[in-house]
Protein backbone atom coordinates (compact mmCIF):
# COMPACT_ATOMS: atom_id res chain seq x y z
CA UNK A 1 0.00 0.00 0.00
CA UNK A 2 2.71 2.52 0.98
CA UNK A 3 5.57 0.60 -0.64
CA UNK A 4 5.49 2.60 -3.86
CA UNK A 5 6.17 5.76 -1.86
CA UNK A 6 9.16 4.16 -0.11
CA UNK A 7 10.51 2.81 -3.41
CA UNK A 8 10.33 6.24 -5.06
CA UNK A 9 11.75 7.96 -1.97
CA UNK A 10 14.61 5.45 -1.75
CA UNK A 11 15.56 5.73 -5.41
CA UNK A 12 15.80 9.51 -5.10
CA UNK A 13 18.12 9.24 -2.08
CA UNK A 14 20.84 6.80 -3.31
CA UNK A 15 19.34 3.86 -1.40
CA UNK A 16 20.01 5.44 1.99
CA UNK A 17 16.39 5.18 3.25
CA UNK A 18 16.26 1.40 2.80
CA UNK A 19 19.60 1.02 4.58
CA UNK A 20 18.36 3.13 7.50
CA UNK A 21 15.10 1.19 7.69
CA UNK A 22 17.03 -2.10 7.79
CA UNK A 23 19.33 -0.73 10.49
CA UNK A 24 16.40 0.39 12.65
CA UNK A 25 14.53 -2.88 12.22
CA UNK A 26 17.69 -4.77 13.19
CA UNK A 27 18.12 -2.63 16.31
CA UNK A 28 14.49 -3.26 17.21
CA UNK A 29 14.81 -7.02 16.62
CA UNK A 30 17.94 -7.18 18.77
CA UNK A 31 16.20 -5.28 21.57
CA UNK A 32 13.19 -7.61 21.43
CA UNK A 33 15.49 -10.65 21.48
CA UNK A 34 17.04 -9.24 24.66
CA UNK A 35 13.61 -8.87 26.27
CA UNK A 36 13.10 -5.15 25.64
CA UNK A 37 9.87 -4.05 24.01
CA UNK A 38 10.05 -1.42 21.26
CA UNK A 39 6.50 -0.32 20.44
CA UNK A 40 7.32 1.17 17.04
CA UNK A 41 5.81 -0.86 14.21
CA UNK A 42 7.52 -1.51 10.90
CA UNK A 43 5.20 1.11 9.40
CA UNK A 44 6.24 3.61 12.09
CA UNK A 45 9.93 2.93 11.39
CA UNK A 46 9.46 3.39 7.65
CA UNK A 47 7.53 6.59 8.35
CA UNK A 48 10.30 8.01 10.55
CA UNK A 49 12.73 7.64 7.65
CA UNK A 50 10.20 8.82 5.06
CA UNK A 51 9.67 12.03 7.07
CA UNK A 52 13.41 12.75 7.43
CA UNK A 53 14.15 16.20 6.00
CA UNK A 54 16.20 16.23 2.78
CA UNK A 55 19.26 17.82 4.40
CA UNK A 56 19.78 14.63 6.43
CA UNK A 57 20.46 12.71 3.21
CA UNK A 58 23.35 14.88 2.04
CA UNK A 59 26.33 12.83 3.18
CA UNK A 60 29.43 10.99 2.11
CA UNK A 61 28.36 7.44 1.25
CA UNK A 62 31.97 6.29 1.58
CA UNK A 63 31.81 7.22 5.26
CA UNK A 64 29.24 4.86 6.82
CA UNK A 65 29.46 6.53 10.23
CA UNK A 66 28.01 9.67 8.62
CA UNK A 67 24.78 7.77 7.97
CA UNK A 68 24.49 6.89 11.66
CA UNK A 69 25.33 10.46 12.67
CA UNK A 70 22.58 11.89 10.47
CA UNK A 71 20.07 9.40 11.85
CA UNK A 72 21.09 10.33 15.41
CA UNK A 73 20.67 14.03 14.54
CA UNK A 74 17.18 13.36 13.15
CA UNK A 75 16.12 11.35 16.19
CA UNK A 76 17.52 13.99 18.55
CA UNK A 77 15.46 16.61 16.72
CA UNK A 78 12.34 14.47 17.19
CA UNK A 79 12.85 13.62 20.87
CA UNK A 80 13.66 17.23 21.78
CA UNK A 81 10.80 18.85 19.86
CA UNK A 82 7.31 18.14 21.21
CA UNK A 83 5.65 20.06 18.36
CA UNK A 84 7.40 17.89 15.79
CA UNK A 85 6.36 14.71 17.63
CA UNK A 86 2.73 15.89 17.70
CA UNK A 87 2.70 16.53 13.95
CA UNK A 88 4.87 13.77 12.48
CA UNK A 89 2.58 11.64 10.32
CA UNK A 90 2.92 8.10 9.04
CA UNK A 91 3.58 7.69 5.34
CA UNK A 92 -0.07 7.56 4.26
CA UNK A 93 -1.00 10.40 6.65
CA UNK A 94 -3.67 8.26 8.34
CA UNK A 95 -2.37 9.03 11.87
CA UNK A 96 0.51 10.58 13.75
CA UNK A 97 3.48 8.32 14.41
CA UNK A 98 3.66 9.07 18.13
CA UNK A 99 0.05 8.34 19.01
CA UNK A 100 1.14 6.62 22.22
CA UNK A 101 3.80 7.42 24.83
CA UNK A 102 5.25 3.91 24.42
CA UNK A 103 6.34 4.88 20.89
CA UNK A 104 8.25 7.87 22.25
CA UNK A 105 9.97 5.55 24.71
CA UNK A 106 10.73 3.13 21.86
CA UNK A 107 12.29 5.93 19.81
CA UNK A 108 14.42 7.01 22.77
CA UNK A 109 15.63 3.43 23.28
CA UNK A 110 16.56 3.12 19.61
CA UNK A 111 18.25 6.53 19.74
CA UNK A 112 20.36 5.46 22.74
CA UNK A 113 21.36 2.27 20.93
CA UNK A 114 22.35 4.29 17.85
CA UNK A 115 24.58 6.46 20.03
CA UNK A 116 26.21 3.31 21.41
CA UNK A 117 26.72 1.89 17.89
CA UNK A 118 28.31 5.15 16.76
CA UNK A 119 30.56 5.28 19.83
CA UNK A 120 31.72 1.69 19.30
CA UNK A 121 32.36 2.24 15.60
CA UNK A 122 34.44 5.34 16.27
CA UNK A 123 36.45 3.55 18.95
CA UNK A 124 37.44 0.94 16.37
CA UNK A 125 38.83 3.55 13.99
CA UNK A 126 38.42 7.09 15.37
CA UNK A 127 40.03 8.99 12.51
CA UNK A 128 38.13 7.69 9.52
CA UNK A 129 35.69 4.85 9.99
CA UNK A 130 36.14 2.90 6.78
CA UNK A 131 36.75 -0.80 6.50
CA UNK A 132 38.10 -2.80 3.58
CA UNK A 133 34.53 -3.43 2.45
CA UNK A 134 34.06 0.32 1.94
CA UNK A 135 37.09 0.82 -0.29
CA UNK A 136 36.54 0.91 -4.03
CA UNK A 137 39.45 -0.57 -5.96
CA UNK A 138 40.16 0.51 -9.57
> What pLDDT digit, counting tens, does each position of 61-70 carry?
677 788 888 8
Mean pLDDT of 107-120: 92
Is the pLDDT at 130 greater than 60, yes or no?
Answer: no
User: Is the whole model's pTM more than 0.85, yes or no?
Assistant: no
For residue 59, the model assigns a pLDDT of 73
| CA atoms of 63 and 69, how far apart (whole Å) | 10
Q: What is the 3-state secondary structure (H, E, C) of the chain?
A: CCHHHHHHHHHCCCCHHHHHHHHHHHHHHHHHHCCCCCCCCHHHHHHHHHCCCHHHHCCCCCCHHHHHHHHHHHHHHHHCCHHHHHHCECCCCCCECCCCHHHHHHHHHHHHHHHHHHHHHHHHCCCCCCCHHHCCCC
Q: How far apart are CA 104 and CA 39, in angstroms?
A: 9
Tens digit of each residue's pLDDT (9 = 90 or more) over 12-40: 767 788 888 999 999 999 999 999 989 99
Amino acid sequence: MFNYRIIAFNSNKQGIPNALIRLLKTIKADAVAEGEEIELSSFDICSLIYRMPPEFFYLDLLNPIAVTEKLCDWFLRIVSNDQLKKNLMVIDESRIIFDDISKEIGLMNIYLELIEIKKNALSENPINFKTASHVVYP
